[in-house]
Structure 1
Amino acid sequence: MRFLANENFPRTSVIYLRSIGYDVAYGSEDAPGAEDSEVLTRAVVEGRIILTFDRDYGELIYRRRMRSPPGVIYFRYIPATPEEPAEDLLRLLRFEGISLEGSFIVLERTQLRRAPIALIMFCDRPLGSALRAMAQSARLRRSHLVV
């Protein structure tokens, strides 16, 4: 699994994840000051799941309909320690039945919310017309509907 840590993600967590074998690119190291849209594009091109404390990715994906990365994990809390986001990600990875790919996950201290993003990844049309087209198409295989 490949990750792209936004520059607001703690460096200590990036180092920790790398030390246990995860492929984590870090915006602060190789693209400091990059706009969110540039980070999103990079994640799409490199096939990486975004790790961020920035809620703007939901806006870019769902409202502005930019191409979706394999996944987004939005950490919606202030970490008590610099290692906490990495530890929470590792806990999340241990949960059976939760797929990070094709998901926009909002991770809070007391809850987890997940929204699919795969439909947007597979089409260039607005979501409403894409859903209508899928419902009308007998040729569309059900495997494209990742929920």
Structure 2
Amino acid sequence: MRFLVDECTGPGVAMWLGQQGYEVFSVYDQAQGAMDDALLLKAFSEGWILITNDKDFGEMVYRERRRHQGVIFLRLANERTASKIAVLQALLDNHVERLPGNFVVVTEDHVRFANTPNS
């Protein structure tokens, strides 16, 4: 599975995913300052599942009906790297097969698979 980790999600999350054996593109390390529009297009065209805590991607997917290969939106009260990693670990342990093609909203205690134009 391939993950494109948004700059705001951070290099620690990208590093952790790489250590878990996933293929990772870290915006923080490889494309700082890239526009959201370009990142969503890159993720779609190259087969990456986007991980972000930027709600603008929800706007692009729902209002603009932009296509995607999967989006994981981290909507966390605690934005520390350790918290992001903890919720991603639980998500990957319990729902990894459902991630491709879905828009997934993740909080500290809930996972919601939302219907999107790609569904």
State the SS of the aligned residue for 1:106.
strand
Aligned amino acid, residue 58 of structure 1 = G
Listed as ranges, the gaps of 5+ residues in structure 1 are 122-145
**Alpha-carbon deviations, 1:36-84, whole Å to 9, x = none?**
1111001011101100010111111111122x22110110014364232
Any conservation in 1 of the 2:87–2:107 contact (CA below 8 Å)?
Answer: no
Q: What's the Cα RMSD here?
A: 1.9
Alpha-carbon distance in structure 1 between the residues aligned to 2:32 and 2:96:
35
SS in structure 1 at match of 2:34? coil
TM-score (norm 1): 0.73
Q: Provide the residue aligned with 2:115 in structure 1.
A: 116
Which range moved further: 9-18 or 72-81?
A: 72-81
How many equivalent residue pairs? 119
Q: For residues 50 and 4 of structure 1, what CA distance do their matches in structure 2 show?
A: 5
Residue 2 of structure 2: aligned partner: 2
Question: Which letter does structure 1 place at the counterpart of 2:74?
Answer: F
Q: Percent identity?
A: 33
TM-score by length of 2: 0.88
Q: Which residue of 2 aligns with 1:32?
A: 32
Larger radius of gyration: 1
Equivalents in 1 of 2:74, 2:5: separation in Å?
11
Aligned amino acid, residue 46 of structure 2: E
Runs of 4+ off more than 4 Å: none
Aligned to 2:68: 69
Structure 2 unaligned segments of length 5 or more: list them: none
